Amino acid sequence: MEIIETNPKERPGLLTALCILTFIGSGFGVLNNIFGMIMSPIKNFLNPEFFETALDNVDDEFARKFVEQAFEIAQKGIEHIFEISLTQFILYAASLTGAILMFQLKKNGFYIYTAAQVLLLFVTPAFIGFNLFVNIGMMFGSVFTILFIALYAINLKKMN
């Protein structure tokens, strides 16, 4: 004899909205990083002297240091574009997988999503290093990461 559930669990509206936002954000992250990996060979055609030439036009001492640091980050980012894109691709795919599982009310999705989102915060510093720009980016990124994880956690009791 088959048991038919007459009251299947209903997905809360907040969980549905969060999952849809994650589908969009992580889906865009997956596509963007595929593009980054495909375009990474272009870095071989970029001339590093471009940065030095641009820096020659900055006269103010404070602005010069600011621009030097920004160019240093850009050069490191270009050097490691394939590695950064591959790592982020994997983590965004994991995040998307977690959201799909949570959409299906599976609790494992929350843990996959959380791990991927926290690790995403550290991809850039792992390849570029910590500095003012990276720290500010991590600070802003962590606000949304913490917010989404907390909102998903509110819905954990509705998941299996």
Q: Which amino acid is at 35?
A: F
Its sign, for the CA torsion 128, 134, 135, 138, is negative
Comparing CA positions, the residue from 4, 28, 5, 9 lying closest to residue 107 is 9
Distances in Å between the Cα of 154 and the Cα atoms of 18, 37, 64, 80, 113 are 11, 36, 47, 37, 14
> How confident is the model over 6-16, as pLDDT tens digits?
556 788 999 99
Inside any domain, residue 144 = yes
**Residue 56 belongs to domain spanning:** 13-158
Token pair listed for 102: 């949570």
> How confident is the model over 93-124, as pLDDT tens digits?
999 999 999 999 999 999 999 999 999 999 99
Report the percentage of the chain scoring pLDDT > 70.
Answer: 90
Question: Looking at the 3D structure of the chain, how many domains does it have?
Answer: 1
Radius of gyration of the chain (CA): 21
**pLDDT of 77 over the 80 cut:** yes
Q: Which amino acid is at 89?
A: F
Inside any domain, residue 4 = no
CA 64 vs. chain centroid, Å, equals 30
Inside any domain, residue 2 = no
- pTM (whole model) above 0.85: no
